[in-house]
Amino acid sequence: MAFDQTAVRKDFPILSREINDKPLVYLDSGNTSQKPQRVIDAMSHFQEHTYAPINRSSYRLAGEATDAYEKGRVAIARLINAPSVDEVVFTKNATEAMNLIAQSWGRANLGEGDVVVLTEMEHHANIVPWQMLVQERKIQIRWVPLTADGQLDLTNLDNLLDGAKVFSFTAMSNVLGTITPIAMLCERARAAGALSIVDACQFVPHNVTDVQSWGADLVAFSSHKMCGPSGIGMLWGRMEILDAMPPFLGGGNMIDTVTFDGFTTAPVPMKFEAGTPPIIEAVGLAAAVEYLEEIGMANIRQHEMELSRYTLDTLKGRFGDDITIYGPDDVKLRGGVFSFAFRDLHPHDVSQVLDERNVCVRAGHHCAKPLMQTLGVNATTRASIYLYNDTADIDALADGLDNATDIFGL
């Protein structure tokens, strides 16, 4: 065991909740993660003692609040090994970070016929902002296909990247669990003269992240999937690139000066943080990062690899041909999200039966409808794990599937 699992479970108050006298089995962290007591306390404490506007007022309390907000930025920079704290931009979530990139960098640099390369396993957050530019700018999208076991098929990558301006890809699929060869893909993008953008939403919460060793240009992720609060997301980018990008939203906080004739922008990161930012959320996020760092990202990854092995072996062992689990079987190549088809049952029915035992999973297209098309399904059931899950949770999932078999008389 990479860390004290029993102690970690106790850190998350919601995990001791019971519904109908039965414990909660939370297997939906790929969707959003639960929060440790420390994050909840940090946000309450901040509101009880320190809350005030940031960057605007000169009294001491406002200074303290500004410092607390900025501590969130420092924590994120440390977590992902960013060369400079100023390169971390706070947004509402990863989706907003992707839209910021497409609207700001995209509108400044992309025109008719320009090519953006995506992969077939992207989340809608890394598809629709580009499709909006297809409508608006007549850019073109090329898709990197997948292999049968749900990895990127890179055979044709050089052709796909030939002449491309952007290569935007996920670090880890939220459906297949597949972890992509991030550094290599960034290198290939660079060689082709394309901007590299990494959707690291599923990766950062579960792995050691080093944006410098990736050699990425821009990276987006969300706080709520990494034990932090909802309402705050991150864009990290190389300063050179962020500096050259026009602002995304306009308003207070993002300006240097405004006259009747126009405005000048504040430096990065404030240039991209228009309006009152998620102040309380940044404080909670800082606490979440500290919590994850204490346990250790490498230990979390280790735990999840072990539990992933257990999950794959348990489900395949108990259900054999009755279950199809998408994505790679090698836990070194995947994270802990398991999308599956169970017998001929619709995912909605599977999740309904599981819910009866408080087993929380997601059923649907997981905001990756094009990928569903590639897989040839309408929807899947998805169980996803985090540091607080253990083998008992997986056993509960498997028992719940047995129950589904019974109910549907299969």
Partner 1 sequence: MSGLEDLYREIILDHYRTPRNRGELDPPAIKAEGHNPLCGDEITVYLSLSGEGDDAVIDDIKIGGQGCSISQSSASMMSQSMKGKTVAENRALARRFKALMGIDGIEPQDGDDAIDLGDLEALEGVMKFPVRIKCAVLGWNTFLQALDAGGGTTSTE
Largest CA distance in the chain: 73
Smallest separation (angstroms) from ligand PLP to the CB of 357: 25
Rule CB under 6 A: say whether 125 interacts with ligand PLP.
Answer: yes
**Active site annotation includes 227:** no
Q: How far is the CB of 319 from ligand PLP (least distance, A)?
A: 26
When binding is defined by CB under 6 A, the residue of 11, 87, 199, 393 that contacts ligand PLP is 199
CB 252 within 8 A of CB 135: no
Q: Can you tell me whether residue 327 is helix, strand or coil? A: coil
Q: Which of 29, 33, 103, 222 binds ligand PLP (CB under 6 A)?
A: 222
Q: Which of residues 65-94 bind ligand PLP (CB under 6 A)?
A: 93-94
Q: Whose Cβ is closer to ligand PLP: residue 170's or residue 339's?
A: 170
Look at phi and psi of residue 395 and say left if phi exceeds 0, alpha if psi is from -120 to 50, else beta: alpha
8 A C-beta contact, residue 140 and residue 116: yes
287 in contact with ligand PLP (CB under 6 A) = no
Tokens of 160: 């796909």
CB–CB of 268/291 below 8 Å? no
CB-based contact 11:36 (threshold 8 Å): yes
- CB closer to partner 1 out of 206 and 362: 362
A 10 A CB-CB count for 392 gives 11
* Residue 349 partner contact from partner 1, ligand PLP, none using kind-dependent CB cut-offs of 5 to 8 Å: partner 1
Which residues have a Cβ under 8 Å from the Cβ of 56 and sit 6 or more positions away? 62, 252, 253
Contact pattern from residue 148 through residue 187 relative to ligand PLP, giving x for each residue in contact according to CB under 6 A and a dash for the rest: ----------------------x---x-------------
**Is 121 one of the binding residues for ligand PLP (CB under 6 A)?**
no
Q: In the range 330-389, which residues lie near partner 1 by CB under 8 A?
A: 345-349, 352-353, 356, 363-365, 372, 378-379
d(CA 5, CA 129): 39
Please state, in angstroms and rounded to a whole number, the distance separating the CA atoms of residues 140 and 133: 9
Which residues contribute to the site for ligand PLP (CB under 6 A)? 93-95, 123, 125, 170, 174, 199, 201-202, 222, 224, 233, 367
Which residues contribute to the site for partner 1 (CB under 8 A)? 345-349, 352-353, 356, 363-365, 372, 378-379, 407-409
Tell me the catalytic residues. 367
